[in-house]
Amino acid sequence: MADTTETKHNSFGELISVIFQALILALIIRTLLFQPFSIPSGSMRPTLLEGDYLFVSKLSYGYSRHSLPFSPNLFPGRVWSGDPARGDVAVFKHPVTNIVFIKRVIGLPGERIQVRDGQVFINGEAIQRELTGQIDNVDITEETRPVDVYRETLPNGVSYNTLDLSPRAPGDNTREFTIPEGHYFMMGDNRDNSNDSRMGVGTVPLENFLGRANIVFFSIAGGASPLEVWRWPAELRIGRFFSSAQR
């Protein structure tokens, strides 16, 4: 009987050890390599949709205090830093509220950015913008009508689609912003439904970047939770599984 009790005790101890090691490994992977992230709003439509679940590469931009859970103030700046590239879809923390956002990098440190009649200007030069058609799909646009789609191409060749919900939206005409050193100008692809650097977010310090959006590994429509497996047959967006989160 003593041997049986001791065996059960050892088995329980081994189980606790395995669980603890697994949790430590998961924390290391989440902190240093890849962090799962779910799209909370429609600001990046049509590139990313609510219900998309993706991996964010923490390696892309190095690490700051914001890379750690709860953002402890352990060290200033970034280590093993990599600069965000123009056109990157990146996850970052709001400079004031620390709320997590996902937007596209449009402007780099030292540049001047302005929007005129929906056209983005970088240092006074308009970026390439072409009307490619319309999308009439409420799951993609959240609108029950056709929505104009523009293809933008940045100076470095990065190209992506944007939605234009209204030709006279508040963000279609802005003042000229000068980006401070060490900061970036971020915009959502859903141009008329995005709180970004044109509005309340302002320019984003490099320190606040969490990582570069990488791959959509799961996607479900209709506001369904991934745990609601009974809704999978009707709501899963199979075509978005393992697709690029960039464009």
**Confidence grade of residue 78 (pLDDT, cut at 50, 70, 90):** confident
Give yes or no: residues 42 and 111 share one domain: yes
Please check whether residues 135 and 184 belong to one and the same domain.
yes
Q: pLDDT (tens digit, 9 = 90+) per residue, 197-241?
A: 999 899 999 999 999 999 999 999 999 999 999 999 999 999 999
Q: Are residues 17 and 61 in the same domain?
A: no
CATH number for the domain harbouring residue 213: 2.10.109.10
Residues catalogued as catalytic: 43, 103
Q: Are residues 18 and 132 in the same domain?
A: no
Query: Cβ contacts of residue 86 below 8 Å, gap of 6+?
Result: 105, 106, 107, 108, 154, 155, 156, 158
Give the three-state DSSP class for 210: strand
196, 185, 244, 212: which is closest to 88 by C-alpha? 212
What is the predicted pLDDT for the residue at 113?
Answer: 98
pLDDT value of residue 200: 87
DSSP assignment string, 61-94: T-B-GGGSTT----SSS-BS--PPPTT-EEEEE-
Residue 152 structural domain: 36-244
d(CA 151, CA 139): 20
pTM of the model: 0.87
Binned at pLDDT 50, 70 and 90, residue 194 comes out as: very high
pLDDT score of 181: 97
Same domain, 73 and 98: yes
CA atoms within 13 A on the CB side of 43: 21
Cis peptide before 46 (omega within 30 of 0): yes
> Helix or strand or coil: residue 188?
coil
Nearest partner of 196 among 162, 167, 244, judged by Cα: 162
State whether 89 and 171 are in the same domain. Answer: yes
Q: Do 18 and 91 belong to one domain? A: no
The residue with greater pLDDT, 220 or 33, is 220
Shared-domain flag, residues 24 and 47: no
Total domain count, the chain: 2
Q: Return the pLDDT at 22.
A: 64
Q: What is the pLDDT of residue 73?
A: 79
Rounded Cα gap, residues 123 and 157, in angstroms: 17
Q: Are residues 60 and 109 in the same domain?
A: yes
Q: Is the C-alpha dihedral spanning 30, 36, 40, 41 positive or negative?
A: positive
In this structure, are residues 55 and 214 in contact, taking their beta carbons and an 8 Å threshold? yes
Mean pLDDT (whole number) for 90-100:
94
Mean pLDDT of all residues in 14-40:
71
Same domain, 114 and 18: no
| Helical (H) or strand (E) element with 11 | helix 2-32
Task: Please list the residues that pair with 121 across neighbouring strands.
Answer: 114, 126
pLDDT tier at 28, thresholds 50, 70, 90: low
- Distances from the Cα of 189 to the Cαs of 62, 67, 135, 149, 192, in angstroms? 25, 25, 14, 10, 9
Each residue's pLDDT tens digit, 121-165: 999 999 999 999 999 999 999 999 999 999 999 999 999 999 999
Count CA atoms within 13 Å of residue 77 on its CB side.
6
22 and 43, same domain (yes or no) = no
Residues 25 and 42 in one domain: no
Q: Is the pLDDT of residue 2 over 50?
A: no
